[in-house]
Structure 1
Amino acid sequence: MEKFLKFLKTEAIGGLIIRFSLAGLLLFGGFTKFTLIGAEGYSLQGAILMAGIETISSFCLIYHFRNPLMGIVGGMLALLSVVVRFIFTLYWIRTEVSSINSFFESFNIMTLIFNNGMFHIFLLIGAAVYCIGNSYKTYIAERITKPWPH
């Protein structure tokens, strides 16, 4: 039984690492977008919007420990920001490479050239889905164990 409990503790530590790593990556990405996208000539309003989404998402992911519902919101915002980044990258490849006419061709180029980047995108999507599920599980457990309202 003790071995089983050690595995549960290891899973909990791994979950904390995933949550804090995703929050840190989103926080860093949120703050750096103010200058990077604006400096390259893209929409500054879009950069500010993405920075806001990622910053709010990172704080909501950390606030999960006080309110699991905020963790769910943070995970969904994290998933949204990763998907928007992915679509923006496909759009950038389509517009910057001269012989590409569709998003499917830009996806093929991205998988051929940036396969390491694709791996990271899938890891970020998996981490966001994990955080949503973990926060939802905690939210349901709190709802079940709360005293019945009078």
Structure 2
Amino acid sequence: MEKFLKYLKIEGVGGHVIRISLACLLLFGGFTKLKLIGALEYSLFWAILLAGIETFAAFGLLIHYKKPLIGMVGGILALLSIFIRVVFSIEWVRGHILQTDSFLSALNSIFGIYNNGLFHIALLFGAAIYCLGNSFKAYVAERITRPWPH
């Protein structure tokens, strides 16, 4: 039984590492998106909006320990920001590398050439889904164990 409990502790530590790593990545990415302001070809509004989404997602993931509902919002924002990054990357490859009008050919090129990056994108989506599910589980546990109002 103690061996089993030891594995549960390791899983808990791994969950904390995943949550904090994703939050740090989003926070770093959120602040570095403001560098897009220097490039005149990018819209200032969209750069600030993406930086805000990623920064709020990171803080939401970290606040999970106090308020799981905010952690769920952080998980949803993390999924949204990762999706926006993927679409932005495909669009950038389409416009700057391939210089074509076809979004599908850019996607095909990314699948063919950028397999390592796709693996990292899949890991990011998996980490965001894990954090969202973990926050939802903590929220439900908090609601179930809360005393009934009189």
Separation of aligned partners in 1, 2:14 and 2:136: 17
Matched, 1:38 2:37: yes
Is contact 2:98-2:106 (8 Å) kept?
Answer: no
Aligned equivalent of 1:50: 50
Separation of aligned partners in 2, 1:119 and 1:110: 12
Within a 5 Å distance, the mapping from 1:60-71 to structure 2 comes to 60-71=60-71
Tell me the secondary structure at the aligned position of residue 69 of structure 1.
Answer: helix
Tell me the secondary structure at the aligned position of residue 26 of structure 1.
Answer: helix
Separation of aligned partners in 1, 2:91 and 2:111: 14
Tell me the secondary structure at the aligned position of residue 97 of structure 1.
Answer: helix
Q: Which has the higher mean CA deviation after the structures are superposed, 74-83 or 86-95?
A: 86-95
Q: List structure 1 segments (4+ residues) > 4 angstroms apart after TM superposition.
A: none
Within a 5 Å distance, the mapping from 1:1-150 to structure 2 comes to 1-35=1-35, 37-40=36-39, 41-98=41-98, 100-150=100-150
Is contact 2:68-2:139 (8 Å) kept?
Answer: yes
Q: Deviations over 1:59-105 (max 9, x none)?
A: 01000000000000000000000000101111111112345332221
Tell me the secondary structure at the aligned position of residue 16 of structure 2.
Answer: helix
* Structure 2, unaligned runs of 5 or more: none
Report the residue type matching 1:57 in the other structure. Answer: A
The alignment-based identity, stated in percent, is 57
Separation of aligned partners in 2, 1:138 and 1:67: 9
Separation of aligned partners in 1, 2:74 and 2:104: 30
Is contact 2:37-2:47 (8 Å) kept?
Answer: yes
